[in-house]
Amino acid sequence: MMAVIEGLLFAAGDEGLTAEQLAEYTGLPVWEVQSLCDALGEDLQRQGRGIRLRRVQRAYQLTTAPEHAPYLERMSEVPKVPPLSQAALETLAIIAYRQPVTRMEIEEIRGVKSDRALATLLGRGLVREAGRADGPGRPILYATTKYFLEYFGFRDLEDLPSPEWEERPGEGELFLFARPESSAEENVRGDENGD
């Protein structure tokens, strides 16, 4: 059944499948599917295979081994994109920790307009529109996407580093900073082609 699960996950592609979906397709109980997925992930890792099993949010997905990235980059013909600007990173951090959040709330925290940063993040698929807030004008709410979790190597939002809020000297405004964990830190520093 482990091979069946591997085939199903391969066929599912980037979206992956939840344990419940795998249970439905295989006829196995959810707990057994989870156990088989854990065993499959360990087997792939132990054997040094080019494929890894990851869980992002509730979905299991097959990915390439991170250490093979240089070889995969050579194969890719996608043009390189510039890295995220400081403004976009600040905006992304606010959305990640405060979601769902409106543009006005983001701008109140940052103290500057955030239209361009939001457009960049939406264009890169790191954030999404998550409905509308109650209140005058029903402003758009923004939240992070599944791709945000994949990009920074998080399983779910609980994996985000603990935020810290401090006053800016002399201004009395609060700002957010977080001490990144290893995987997120490596993605931010090591990715010269992501925005």
What are the pLDDT digits (tens) for 50-91?
999 998 888 999 998 888 888 877 777 656 667 888 889 999
* 47 and 106 in a common domain: no
Average confidence (pLDDT) over 17-26: 94
Question: How far from chain centre, in Å, is Cα 85?
Answer: 18
Whole-number pLDDT of residue 151:
85
Query: How many domains are there within the chain?
Result: 2
Where among 75, 102, 122 does a domain terminate? 75
Omega before residue 161 within 30° of 0, cis: no
Among the residue ranges 30-44, 84-98, 106-120, 154-168, the one predicted with the least confidence is 154-168
Domain with residue 184: its CATH number is 1.10.10.10
122 against 153, higher pLDDT? 122
User: What is the arithmetic mean of pLDDT over 98-102?
Assistant: 91
Do 66 and 91 share a domain, yes or no? Answer: no
Do 40 and 91 fall within a single domain? no
Residue 180 counted as domain residue: yes
Q: What is the 3-state secondary structure (H, E, C) of the chain?
A: CHHHHHHHHHHHHHHCEEHHHHHHHHCCCHHHHHHHHHHHHHHHHHCCCCEEEEEECCEEEEEECHHHHHHHHHHCCCCCCCCCCHHHHHHHHHHHHHCCEEHHHHHHHHCCCCHHHHHHHHHCCCEEEEEECCCCCCCEEEEECHHHHHHHCCCCHHHCCCEEEEECCCCCCEEEEECCCHHHHHHHHHCCCCC
Q: Are 101 and 186 members of one domain?
A: yes
Domain that holds residue 59: 2-75
CB 17 within 8 A of CB 9: yes
pLDDT for res 184? 41
Q: What pLDDT shows up at residue 134?
A: 87
Predicted local confidence at residue 66, as pLDDT: 86
Q: Is residue 24 part of a domain?
A: yes
Residue 77 has a pLDDT of 64
Give the C-alpha separation, 69 to 66, whole Å. Answer: 6
